[in-house]
Each structure stands twice: as C-alpha cells, then as structure tokens.
Structure 1
Amino acid sequence: MPLLAVAQLHTRDVPDLVGPDGCDLLQVFWCPFEAHGPDRTIEVALTWRRAEDVGTVRTPQPEPPVAGRVEFVPTPCVLHPEQVVEHQYLGLLGDDLQEQIAEWEESLLDDEDADDTEDGPDSTAPASYATYEEYEAATAAARAAEPDEIDYMSDLSLAPGWKVGGYASRHLTDPAPVDCPRCATSMPPLLTVHTWECDGASRSWLPLEDDADDPGVIDPVGIYLGRGQMRIHTCPTDPTHPHRLTFQ
C-alpha cells in the first residue's frame, strides 16, 4: 500500500529546517497503521529532495485503500508557517530558575487579586435577555473583558500544534536522552505532530486572525497519535542518519 503524504516543508518557508547538502524540501510520509513501524509504532518515512527536481504533482494523489484509524489520515490543508520564540520545558530548568518563575507567577496573581479588591464586589443585578443570542453575545463580551492569567508553561514555554524545531514536552514521561543510533549525538525534535493547535489552557499561541471557538482552528488536521503528540527526531550531525520517534 502507498504511504500517506503528511507534510511538505520548504527551507525557504521554515528557516530552522536544515537538511542534507543541496536539499531544500522535506516530504514526510507515514503508514496508516499504528503497529507496522519499529517497536510496533507508526512507520514514518522522511524524504529530502531538491525542489527544482520535483516535477508535476500527481493527480490524484495515491492513497491507501484502508487505514487503521481515521485519526491517522490528515485532513488536507494549507500550511502558513509562522516563526515564534519558545522556552525550555519547566522541569528541565535549574532549581533556582524554577523558583524565580514560580515567584513571578505568584506576583501576577497577587496583582490581579489587588485589582479585584480595588474594583469592589459586583453589585449589579443579573441581567435578563430577550433571546439566547443576546445572552451568548453578552457572555462572550464578558469573557473577553476578563484578564487572561499568564503562566510559564501555558504561555511562554512550549508552543502547541505542529511545529519544526523547538523544545520537547515532558508532561507524561520523565526526561530521557534521545540519541542518534548511528553516532550517539543528541537528537532534537525535527517535527512535532500535535493534535491541538491551541490547547485551551491559554490563547497566547493562537494567531490573532483565528477564532478559538472554531473547531476547525483548534484541530484542523484531525490527527491523533500516541496520547496526542508525536515527535520526529533527526541527527544534527547528519540528517540522513536514521530518525527516531517519541510520543507523549
């Protein structure tokens, strides 16, 4: 059966994407069955190419006749790359820095509590609405007026969604080395495949033009691997060395 075409990335669109010499295009494929890869996980294939060597796109695209689960089959969509800054997973920072972050988060909460005290209790009577649409609009306006709570893990540390490069989350398993099976070099994530583009805990990573209440924005690709997240790691010394997968 043909592999599923999952992603096509150009180095001109993704500055952090580095491949073998002369290659400026990465194509990602995988098998639509979970247990056909190493260690009975999904089989992922990476193909580095020169964009100038790519000919006419095949129509229609080859697709397998069956799949293990519908969550293995991506919904076709256009990628709009955006470069963002994220920071290391909290549990991998030094103890002193973790304490400073905790104190900073507490100071933000204290400031919010002080603002609430100055404003005083809300003595207005509950409003009545002629229609449900009026109630829904008023609720949305009140929600938008509330200050957003900011914390390191949700707003500053790891961007959710599909991403190239960046840091890896360790929210389900303890940190463990991911080394190249050929040269033992530490392998950072090349590509993270995440179920959610916005995790719901914070909207800080959501593009301003997107609506967080739109399911198509939160989960546009329809993929669910592992417990919601899969990372493809490649060797920084030689991208042609065998890649590795980790799941969260």
Structure 2
Amino acid sequence: MLFARDVPDLPFPDEADTLQVLWCPLDHEPYFQPHTIVRWRGAEAVGSLLIDAPTPDPDSDDSYLPMACVLSPERVEEYPAGWGLPAELRQRIWAWEDGFPNPDGWGYFSHLSSAPGSKVGGWVSWIQDPEQVECSKSHEMAHLLTIASREFDIENGKRWAPIEERSPHAPLEIQEPTDLMIQDAGSLYLFVCLKCPDLPVNSLSQGS
C-alpha cells in the first residue's frame, strides 16, 4: 500500500490518495506470474490496518509470499537504459567509457542508468527485451511499479546497494530482502495509463 503523501510524484485519480496492490500467490497465464489487483482509494475508506496478516492459503506458492521486512523508500536519480537512448548517444557513451582509465569497471549501463530492484516510477529496468504496454484503448502506458526478486547484483550493487548495507560481494540476504522469486530471478512490472481518467493498470513479468 502506498500513500500520496509518501510518493508525491505518483499520479492518483481525483479524490484518491492511496494505492493498494494485491496479488494471488499462484502462477497465472500468460506470463506465469501472480495475478495482481490494483485499487485506487481514499485513505479514509481503507480503515484500520490489520495487526496480523491473514494466514495464506495452503495452496499458495511460497516464492510469492514475501518475508516481513521494513520498507524504507529513498528517492534516487537514474537515467534511461541503453535501449532507450539514440544509437548515436550510445556510441558516444561507449567511446567515453573506453577513453579513460577505469580499473574498477564503472560504467553508464551498469551504474548510472535505470535502477534495478523494486521501485515506484522511473525508468523500467528490463531483464529481457523492452516491451510496449498498452491499455484497452491502445494508449501507451507508463511504468508504475516494479516488484523484483533481487534488488541488485554483484556488479550494479556497487552503485545501487544501500550505503548502510553495502559490502564488496553484495551478500544474498541483502540482494533478496523479501525472499520473493518471480519466474527465474525476475521482476513483475505494473504499468498505468495516464490518459484514461480511472488510471487503469496492467502487468507483465520477465525472468532472467
């Protein structure tokens, strides 16, 4: 659940200030991912929060049941991934990276472009080829939310791992804080249509 006060850049429909994302912890076609339901609501309609989470259905897939953890949102600055850049600019970046001493292997595509992991808004960090997502009225949809199996890998963790938890080898318990596994170390992407008044949401997933 996300509140407008905590994510001021997130678009909300009129008279709504709360985003709830629910999912069924079983595989659903066509992407073999959890089926998601999104609700835009007013906070007063949500009521009091449950102290104890309901017991999951015994048929639930354990890989879709997150481990309890603390969410600490942080605003970051990121840039488009390589696929989102003009070919001429990609060539300039490669030439720039090749043109100066870089013993630690830092580069634009791993350390400066789209942030990996779970996030709200920003550029999509695709695992496979980029996909264009459209709503039922054929409007191109914008990235709303990513729920990731892993927050980073050993290489891009040099840039994106929290400073408080950073280590040379990005331990597994930091890479996978929620213990979720979507497809094969994949991500579930949610997209919102900003042209439709009710802000409909679609989802898809990719695996590694």
The alignment's TM-score, normalised by the length of structure 1, stands at: 0.74
In the TM superposition, what is the alpha-carbon distance from 1:187 to its structure 2 partner? 0.6
1:1-12 equivalences under 5 Å are 8-12=1-5
Contact 1:168 1:189 in 2 (8 A): yes
> Tell me, which stretches of 5 or more residues in structure 2 are unaligned?
none
Does 2:104 correspond to 1:148? yes
Q: Which has the higher helix share?
A: 1
Note the alpha carbon deviations across 1:95-138, whole angstroms, 9 max, x for none: 11011110111123xx24xxxxxxxxxxxxxxxxxxxxxxxxxx
Measure the CA separation in 2 of the matches of 1:104 and 1:186.
Answer: 33
Does 2:123 correspond to 1:167? yes
Distance 1:73 1:171, change over 3 A: closer
Does 2:28 correspond to 1:31? no
Q: What corresponds to 1:121 in structure 2? A: none
1:77-92 equivalences under 5 Å are 77-92=69-84
In the TM superposition, what is the alpha-carbon distance from 1:170 to its structure 2 partner? 3.8
Note the alpha carbon deviations across 1:179-221, whole angstroms, 9 max, x for none: 111x222111111011112221121112211134443322111
| More moved, 210-219 vs 71-80 | 210-219
Q: Which has the higher strand share?
A: 2
In the TM superposition, what is the alpha-carbon distance from 1:166 to its structure 2 partner? 1.2
Q: What corresponds to 2:13 in structure 1? A: 20
Q: Percent identity?
A: 35
1:16-165 equivalences under 5 Å are 16-35=9-28, 41-108=33-100, 111-112=101-102, 148-165=104-121
> Tell me, which stretches of 5 or more residues in structure 1 are unaligned?
1-7, 113-146
Q: What corresponds to 1:126 in structure 2? A: none
- Greater relative contact order (CA < 8 Å, ≥ 6 in sequence): 2
Contact 1:197 1:219 in 2 (8 A): yes
Distance 1:230 1:101, change over 3 A: same
Does 2:186 correspond to 1:240? no
Measure the CA separation in 1 of the matches of 2:59 and 2:124.
Answer: 28
In the TM superposition, what is the alpha-carbon distance from 1:177 to its structure 2 partner? 2.0
User: CA-atom RMSD, angstroms?
Assistant: 2.1
In the TM superposition, what is the alpha-carbon distance from 1:45 to its structure 2 partner? 0.7
The alignment's TM-score, normalised by the length of structure 2, stands at: 0.87
Q: What corresponds to 2:161 in structure 1? A: 206
Note the alpha carbon deviations across 1:56-89, whole angstroms, 9 max, x for none: 2224322322244211001111211111111112
Distance 1:106 1:211, change over 3 A: same
